[in-house]
Amino acid sequence: MRGTKVYIALLLSLLFFACREKPEFSDIPYIKYAGFDAITNREGKDSIGILKLYFTDGDGDVGLSASDTLPPYDKESVYYFNFFIDYFEKQNGVWTKVVLPPPFPGADSLTNNSRIPNLTPEGPNKTLEGEINMQLFTNNPFSEFDTVRYEVRICDRALNMSNTVRTPDYILRK
C-alpha cells in the first residue's frame, strides 16, 4: 500500500512538471543585476569582487567553447569576448570610464572582459535562464579614488548584444 502511494505521488509530480509550459524568452540575451560580493585581502582591502547577473536567452546560444577562435571570435575581434564590462570611477564627483594600463610591457590594456563558456543545454529545449557569477578586479592600484561601478553586457554566438546593466555604486576599502 505504501509503495502505491509513493508511485502515485511520483506520477502526479511528473505530470505537474511535464505540463508546465516552457518559458518564452527573446533570442536576444537579457541580463539583470543580481548582486555583488567584495572579497577582502589579508590587509582588509577589497581586491576581488563577484558580480552576479540573472540572465535569459530564448535560443540558448550563450557562451563560447575554447575552440571558438576563428572569425568572428578570433583574438583580433571585439567578439573574442562575450562578457563585456566597463569600469568607472567617481573622480572628483564625475563618473569616468577607466581603461587600466597593461599588466606588463607588450600586453593589451588590463580588462575585466571575459569569455563565458558554452552554456547551450542538451536536448530540444534550448531556453536558458540562470545566474552568471563573474570574478572582477575591484581595486585599481593606479588610482586614488574609492567609488566604482560597472556597466555590463553579454553577447551570444549570433552576435546579439544584451541590454546593458549598471551596478550600484560601490565604495572600496583601500
Give the separation between CA 96 and CA 167, rounded to whole angstroms. Answer: 14
- Is 64 part of any domain? yes
Cell matching residue 19: 505540463
Range of the domain at 108: 24-171
Question: Per the domain annotation, does 144 fall within a domain?
Answer: yes
Please report, for the domain that includes residue 150, its CATH number. 2.60.40
Whether 116 is in a domain gets the answer yes
- Tell me, yes or no, whether 130 lies in a domain: yes
Helix (H/G/I), strand (E/B), else coil: 20: coil
CA separation, residue 134 to residues 21, 66, 126, 152 (Å): 30, 18, 22, 11
94: part of which helix (H) or strand (E)? strand 94-98
Joined grid coordinates for residue 59 = 535560443
Rounded Cα gap, residues 86 and 97, in angstroms: 7
Q: From the CB of residue 56, how many other CB atoms can be counted at a distance below 10 Å?
A: 20
Residue 55 cell numbers, joined = 540572465
pLDDT of residue 3: 42
Query: 14 lies in a domain?
Result: no
Query: How many domains are there within the chain?
Result: 1
31-89 per-position pLDDT tens digit: 999 999 888 888 888 778 889 999 999 999 999 999 999 999 999 999 999 999 998 99
In a domain, 106, yes or no: yes
Rounded Cα distance between 73 and 63, Å, is 11
* Residue that is written with C-alpha cell 579614488 in the block: 145
Q: What is the pLDDT of residues 84-133, one digit of tens each?
A: 999 899 999 999 998 866 655 554 555 778 999 999 988 888 899 999 99
